[in-house]
Structure 1
Amino acid sequence: MTNNTTPAINRIDSLDYLRGLAAFGIMIYHMHLFTYGEADASSVLAKIKIYGVAIFYVLSGLTLYMVHIRGFVFSKPVLVEFYIKRFFRIVPLLWMATALTLVIVYPQMLSVKKIIANITIIPGAIKPETFIANGAWSIGDELFFYILFPFLIWMAKFKKGLFWGFVALSFLILIYFTFKVLDPNVYLGKQWAEYVNPLGQMFYFAAGIGLGAIERNMKKFGWPAVLGIVFLCSLITFYPVTGEPVQLVTGFNRLILSGYVIALCFLFYKCDFDFLPGFIKTILRTLGEISFSVYLIHPIIYGLIRFAAADYLSANPIIHIALTIAITLVLSFYSYTYFEKYFIRLGKSVSAKAKPAVAS
Structure 2
Amino acid sequence: MTETLSKNVVSRIDSIDYLRGLAALSILAYHMYLFNFGEVDSSSILGKFKIYGVSIFYILSGITLYVVYKDRLHLKKKDLLEFYIKRFFRLVPLLWLVTLLTVLLQYNPEIMSLKKIILNITVLPGAIKPEGFIASGAWSIGNEIFFYLFFPFMIFLIRFKRPFIFLFLAAALGFLIYFTFYVLDPAVPLGFQWSAYVNPLGQFFYFITGIALGILGKYIPQRKLVYLLFFGLFFFLFAYYHVQGEPVMLVTGVARMVLSAYVVLLCLFFYKTDFSGFAPVLKTCMQFLGNISYSLYLLHPIVYFVVKTSLGMAGIESISVVISCTVVFSLFFAYLSYVFVEQTFIEIGKRFVKRIGYKV
- Asked whether the two chains share a fold, i.e. TM above 0.5, the reply is yes
Helix, strand or coil for the counterpart of 2:72? coil
Call closer, same or farther: CA 1:65–1:115 in 2, change over 3 Å. same
Shift of 1:291: 0.2
Shift of 1:43: 0.3
Q: Show the 5 A alignment for 1:64-79.
A: 64-79=65-80
Larger mean Cα displacement after TM superposition, 306-315 or 107-116: 306-315
Call closer, same or farther: CA 1:207–1:33 in 2, change over 3 Å. same
- Alignment match, 1:141: 143
- Alignment match, 2:57: 56
- Alignment match, 1:269: 271
Answer yes or no: is the 8 Å Cα contact 2:112–2:134 preserved in 1: no
- Alignment match, 1:189: 191
Shift of 1:205: 0.2
Give distance in 2, aligned partners of 1:173 and 1:189. 20
- Alignment match, 1:231: 233
Q: Show the 5 A alignment for 1:1-360.
A: 7-108=8-109, 109-216=111-218, 218-310=220-312, 315-358=317-360
Helix, strand or coil for the counterpart of 2:40? coil
Helix, strand or coil for the counterpart of 1:190? helix
Shift of 1:223: 1.1
Answer yes or no: is the 8 Å Cα contact 1:6–1:72 preserved in 2: no
Shift of 1:159: 1.9
Equivalent residue letter for 2:338: Y
Shift of 1:6: 6.0
Answer yes or no: is the 8 Å Cα contact 1:220–1:272 preserved in 2: yes
Equivalent residue letter for 1:41: S
Answer yes or no: is the 8 Å Cα contact 2:78–2:357 preserved in 1: yes
User: Normalising to structure 2: TM-score of the pair?
Assistant: 0.96
Equivalent residue letter for 1:34: F
Shift of 1:357: 1.6
Give distance in 1, aligned partners of 2:238 and 2:281. 28
Shift of 1:313: 6.7
Give distance in 2, aligned partners of 1:124 and 1:208. 22
Shift of 1:73: 1.7
Tell me the alpha carbon deviations over residues 178-219 of structure 1, each in whole angstroms, 9 at most, x when there is no partner.
Answer: 000000010000000000000000010000000011242532
Equivalent residue letter for 1:168: A
Call closer, same or farther: CA 1:232–1:44 in 2, change over 3 Å. same
Larger mean Cα displacement after TM superposition, 279-288 or 105-114: 105-114
Gaps of 5+ in 2: 1-5
Tell me the alpha carbon deviations over residues 57-115 of structure 1, each in whole angstroms, 9 at most, x when there is no partner.
Answer: 00001000000012222111100000000000000000000000111134444321011
Equivalent residue letter for 1:229: F
Shift of 1:161: 1.8
Answer yes or no: is the 8 Å Cα contact 1:41–1:244 preserved in 2: yes
Give distance in 1, aligned partners of 2:284 and 2:58. 24
Answer yes or no: is the 8 Å Cα contact 1:93–1:340 preserved in 2: yes
Answer yes or no: is the 8 Å Cα contact 1:61–1:206 preserved in 2: yes
Shift of 1:308: 1.8
User: Normalising to structure 1: TM-score of the pair?
Assistant: 0.96
Equivalent residue letter for 2:31: H
Answer yes or no: is the 8 Å Cα contact 2:56–2:267 preserved in 1: yes
Tell me the alpha carbon deviations over residues 252-271 of structure 1, each in whole angstroms, 9 at most, x when there is no partner.
Answer: 10000000101111111101
Answer yes or no: is the 8 Å Cα contact 2:217–2:272 preserved in 1: no
Give distance in 1, aligned partners of 2:142 and 2:10. 27
Give distance in 2, aligned partners of 1:300 and 1:124. 21
Tell me the alpha carbon deviations over residues 215-256 of structure 1, each in whole angstroms, 9 at most, x when there is no partner.
Answer: 425320221100001001100110011001100000010000
Give distance in 2, aligned partners of 1:313 and 1:332. 27
Answer yes or no: is the 8 Å Cα contact 1:6–1:67 preserved in 2: no
Larger mean Cα displacement after TM superposition, 304-313 or 272-281: 304-313
Alignment RMSD: 1.4
Count of residue pairs the alignment pairs up: 354
Shift of 1:7: 1.0
Helix, strand or coil for the counterpart of 2:359? helix
The ranges of structure 1 where at least 4 consecutive aligned residues each deviate by more than 3 angstroms after the TM superposition are 106-110, 311-315
Equivalent residue letter for 2:70: I
